[in-house]
């Protein structure tokens, strides 16, 4: 199923040609709906707005704006009305666990051995781009996935480049930025992998980056603040949570070992204008309390000016 972009003007872009805001401009905090899985989507949006969030990272899923629902146009219109009333900014995410396959988490992918599986992932990305255009999203987020057993790295890489090139063409036509996320355990796991992929695609302007702050702490060879500096020229989206070195587990702030004031200062110094989205997908059972704690923590951390390596 595909969705034709509407006429609603997309939100602010993060294009390399856009004038950057002055360093130190306030960061825009958001929260991911994958951490509000027990809420109706309109309720989740209103809660986040009431807590003072500036935006939302909306994961398309069976319970939240299912892209394959028969009444999708009405649902999009309903979400648009809530966004207009609350003033929330938006990133559309495509990382639902079992949306495409009820048996296999995060499958199929752009790397899948079955052509039909790759086509289903591409269709989801096309649909997400259309939804993003209609809702004025700042970006549409996606990742590579992991190669199937028996698929060689060269073959997986070729499939990924082909799939990303096709997705970039759709994003160009819709006027929507893509925000590709390196993800631990996937074919593209780190910033170096993103740079390699970006180069293979010819560095298209719409093929931007999601930087996950926890992932930087988990596996990157640089400090988290240095990762922000290295990624600044391509950033379209930032995900944020606490994490420990070498362990890919998204933790509430204060439960890991990241020191956040210098990280937020680095984002501000880079003139980053997109959303900084809390990514706690395993905390729907305590969504409102976790969201409240997160915004309070981030606001406090953003007020501290100390800059030390992380």
Residue-level pLDDT at 205: 97
Residue 228 lies in a domain: yes
Residue 170 lies in a domain: yes
Residue-level pLDDT at 307: 44
Please enumerate, as own/partner, the contacts of 188-192 that have beta carbons within 8 Å and a separation of 24 or more.
188/143, 188/144, 188/160, 189/219, 190/215, 190/219, 190/220, 191/220, 191/227, 191/230, 191/231
Residue 137 lies in a domain: yes
302 Cβ contact list (under 8 Å, min separation 6) = 26, 27, 261, 264, 268
Number of domains present in the structure of the chain? 1
Whole-angstrom distance, CA of residue 36 vs CA of residue 283: 8
Return the bridge partners of 141, or none: 93, 179
Token pair 């994003």 is at which residue?
Answer: 171
Whole-angstrom distance, CA of residue 139 vs CA of residue 153: 28
Instruction: Please give the C-alpha separations between residue 239 and each of 109, 122, 160, 197, 275, in angstroms, as whole numbers.
Output: 21, 23, 22, 20, 8
Token code pair at residue 63: 């319970």
Strand-pair category, 89-93 with 235-240: unpaired
**Averaged in consecutive runs of 10 residues, what is the pLDDT profile of the chain (310 residues)?**
36 37 75 97 98 98 94 96 98 96 93 95 98 98 95 96 98 98 96 98 98 97 97 98 94 95 96 97 93 97 64
Q: Which of 211, 219, 214 is nearest to 235 (CA)?
A: 211
Torsion of CA 87, 18, 241, 61, to 10 degrees: 60
Residue-level pLDDT at 24: 56
Residue 149 lies in a domain: yes
Token code pair at residue 14: 């993060």
Buried b (16+ CB within 10 A) or exposed e, 192-201: ebbbebbeeb
Do the beta carbons of residue 295 and residue 52 sit within 8 Å? yes
Strand-pair category, 242-244 with 247-251: antiparallel
Parent domain of 247: 29-303
Residue 21 lies in a domain: no
Whole-angstrom distance, CA of residue 198 vs CA of residue 207: 7
Q: Is 263 left (phi over 0), alpha (psi -120 to 50) or beta?
A: alpha
Residue 255 lies in a domain: yes
Token pair 């500096």 is at which residue?
Answer: 229
Residue 298 lies in a domain: yes
Residue-level pLDDT at 281: 86
Residue-level pLDDT at 306: 52
76 Cβ contact list (under 8 Å, min separation 6) = 3, 65, 131, 134, 135
Residue-level pLDDT at 11: 39
Indicate yes or no: pTM above 0.85: yes
Q: Which of 7, 17, 12 is nearest to 233 (CA)?
A: 17
CA 52 from chain centre, in angstroms, equals: 20
CATH number of residue 105's parent domain: 3.20.20.150
Residue 104 lies in a domain: yes
Residue-level pLDDT at 63: 92
Token code pair at residue 264: 């937020």
């Amino acid at each position: 199923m595909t969705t034709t972009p509407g006429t609603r003007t997309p939100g602010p872009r993060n294009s390399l040609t856009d004038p950057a805001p002055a360093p130190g401009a306030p960061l825009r905090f958001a929260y991911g709906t994958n951490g509000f899985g027990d809420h109706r989507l309109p309720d989740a949006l209103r809660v986040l707005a009431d807590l003072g969030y500036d935006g939302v990272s909306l994961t398309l899923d069976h319970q939240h704006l299912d892209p394959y629902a028969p009444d999708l146009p009405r649902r999009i219109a309903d979400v648009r009305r809530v966004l207009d009333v609350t003033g929330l900014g938006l990133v559309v995410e495509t990382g639902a666990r079992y949306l495409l396959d009820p048996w296999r988490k995060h499958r199929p992918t752009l790397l899948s051995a079955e052509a039909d599986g790759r086509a289903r992932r591409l269709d989801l990305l096309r649909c997400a781009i259309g939804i993003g255009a209609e809702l004025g999203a700042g970006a549409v987020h996606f990742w590579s996935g992991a190669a199937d057993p028996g698929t060689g790295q060269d073959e997986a890489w070729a499939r990924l480049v082909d799939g990303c090139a096709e997705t970039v063409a759709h994003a160009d036509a819709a006027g929507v930025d893509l925000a590709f996320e390196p993800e631990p355990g996937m074919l593209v796991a780190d910033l170096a992998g993103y740079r390699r992929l970006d180069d293979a695609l010819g560095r298209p302007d719409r093929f931007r980056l999601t930087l996950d702050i926890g992932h930087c702490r988990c596996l990157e060879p640089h400090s988290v603040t240095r990762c922000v500096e290295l990624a600044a020229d391509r950033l379209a989206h930032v995900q944020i949570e606490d994490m420990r070195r070498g362990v890919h587990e998204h933790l509430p702030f204060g439960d890991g070992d990241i020191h956040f004031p210098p990280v937020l200062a680095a984002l501000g110094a880079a003139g980053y204008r997109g959303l900084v989205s809390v990514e706690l997908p395993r905390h729907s059972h305590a969504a409102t309390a976790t969201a409240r704690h997160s915004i309070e923590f981030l606001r406090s951390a953003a007020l501290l000016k100390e800059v030390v390596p992380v």
